[in-house]
Amino acid sequence: MSMIDLNTVLPSLISELIDSKIIFGLLYSMILGVPRLFNIIFSHYLSYVKYKKKILLTGIYLRSFSFLGMALTTYFYGKENPLIVITFFFIFIFIFSLSGGFASLSYTEIIGKLTTKGEREKIFASKQFVASVMAFSGGLIVKYIFSPGNFAFPNNYSILLIIGFIGLIIAAISFWIIDEKPSVVNKEKLKLISFLKRVPQLLKNDPTFLKFVIIENLSSFSLMILPFYIVYAKDTFNLSSQYVGTFLLFQITGMILSNIFWGYLGDKKGARYVVRVCVLIGGIIPVLALIAGRLDPELYKYLFLLIGFVISGRKIGFTPYLLDLTPADKRTVYLGIRDSLNILVIILPLAGGILINLLGYTLTFLLVSLVMISAFFIDSKKDCMILN
């Protein structure tokens, strides 16, 4: 996944193909939003499926061939006709995102069956640590490919996407050996429309879950500008692509280092506190980006350490927090509802591109910071402060 990192590699590739922040925001909205739109439907049907492993593997293979499609179109048309590449990217990214949606539901359900409350924070922190170390290796590959004199556009991005394709094919092998136990499935089979009508009542009956959905939506404002940090750096410092690898390595280093912190916090305070600290850091980053953007790129690269913290914090915090809230027989349903109701993820990246075009980076970044800090205090109103 380092080969198509959504905060460094992909933004850099799209900015090479087209000088439009709105188009980039639209593509990024598709990446994050397509699973949200369809996951409530997927969750309804998956709630009647006892074994999810084959569905997970199908999603992984579809994602891997999306990598291959993007690699080939970039290689053959990236230089001569970038608009063709952008057009095909809408198709491949749609497949990439759609398959990621039902694969993610299946994966989280399997993890929920394999783990218990109380141990998930440690397991997710350990998993994220190993993933971050492996991603660091990927970051070294990215840095090498973008080093001056090695590979020119479009060969550099094509090679990365081919490596991503091969990597996912290999990664899928390990999922075949998982001994999956049957899921607790709903005995009452409802038509999709009947299921959708029950969602408001489910939220009303479970105010804790409703609050989780609201906080996750507000925290999504950090995702609105996450991919624009590197675009901002390119516009501000007039950077070449060789900085992509450097920023990615700093981001992954932040992910690795933060696992110790998130694991400790999750163990002592629980997943909810991980989420709250993550939201707070996400509110500080846009201000730091504006400050560093007035200095030099050598200082700006340290911003990606904090971005790595937030990325890991979201992965370690939100899913275990939700798994702690969900009853076993409704786990898949809750996961699907959570994804589909996280609607701000769908529109915020596109809104970010539009706002940057209209207001500029400074006002957009400050707006995001204000919303994130507000989300932190809203979540703190009925509870003790995070540091108490």
Specify the pTM.
0.65
Residue 387 lies in a domain: no
pLDDT of residue 157: 92
| Domain total in the chain | 1
Residue 187 has pLDDT above 70, yes or no: no
Phi-psi domain of 115 (left: phi exceeds 0; alpha: psi -120 through 50; beta: other): beta
Please tell me the distance from the alpha carbon of residue 78 to that of residue 107, in angstroms, as a whole number.
34
- Determine the average pLDDT of the residues in 358-374: 88
Taking residue 15's Cβ as centre, other Cβ atoms within 10 Å add up to 18
Least Cα distance to 10 among 161, 133, 159, 132 occurs for 161
Residues in the chain: 388
Distances (CA, A) of 218 to 204, 226, 281, 379: 19, 14, 14, 10
Domain harbouring 117, CATH code: 1.20.1250.20
Paired tokens of 208: 């804790």
**387 has a pLDDT exceeding 50:** no
pLDDT at 212: 80
Residue 69: pLDDT band with limits 50, 70, 90: very high
Within-domain flag for 320: yes
- Rounded to an integer, the average pLDDT of 79-106 is 88
Q: Token pair for residue 291?
A: 């400050």
86 alpha carbon, distance to own chain's centre: 21
d(CA 345, CA 342): 6
Position 385 in a domain? no
* Contact present, 172 and 64 (Cβ < 8 Å): yes
Q: Please check whether residue 203 lies inside any domain of the structure.
A: yes
Q: How would you class 182 by CB atoms within 10 Å of its CB: exposed for 0-12, middle for 13-18, buried for 19 or more?
A: exposed
| Structural domain boundaries enclosing 212 | 2-181+188-380
| Cβ pair 153, 16 in contact under 8 A | yes
- Looking up tokens 């390990």, which residue turns up? 174
Confirm if 99 and 62 have CB atoms less than 8 A apart.
yes
Average pLDDT along the chain: 80
Can you give the pLDDT at residue 386?
Answer: 33
Domain contains 386: no
**What is the pLDDT averaged over residues 329-333?**
70
d(CA 273, CA 275): 5
Which carries the bigger pLDDT value, residue 332 or residue 85?
85
For 94-126, write each residue's pLDDT tens digit: 998 888 877 887 887 787 777 776 676 677 777
Tell me 328's DSSP state. Answer: G
Reply yes or no on whether the pLDDT at 256 is more than 80.
yes
CB 35, CB 340: distance < 8 Å: no
Cα gap 311→278, rounded to integer Å: 9
Q: Write down the pLDDT at residue 385.
A: 34
Whether the Cβ atoms of residue 107 and residue 55 lie closer than 8 Å to each other = no
Q: What is the pLDDT of residues 23-49, one digit of tens each?
A: 877 887 788 777 777 766 777 677 777
Please give the Cα distance from 224 to 232 (Å, whole number).
13
pLDDT for residue 159: 93
272-300 pLDDT per residue, tens: 788 888 888 888 999 999 998 888 878 88
Separation CA 71–CA 4 (nearest Å): 11
In sequence order, the 6+-apart residues with CB closer than 8 A to the CB of 383 are none
- Residue 61 vs residue 225, higher pLDDT: 61
pLDDT single digits (tens) 131-149: 878 888 888 888 888 888 7
Q: Which conformational region is residue 149 in: left (phi greater than 0), alpha (psi within -120 to 50 degrees), or beta?
A: left
| Torsion angle of the four alpha carbons 27, 29, 30, 31, in this order, in degrees rounded to the nearest 10 | 90
Is residue 272, in this structure, part of any structural domain at all? yes
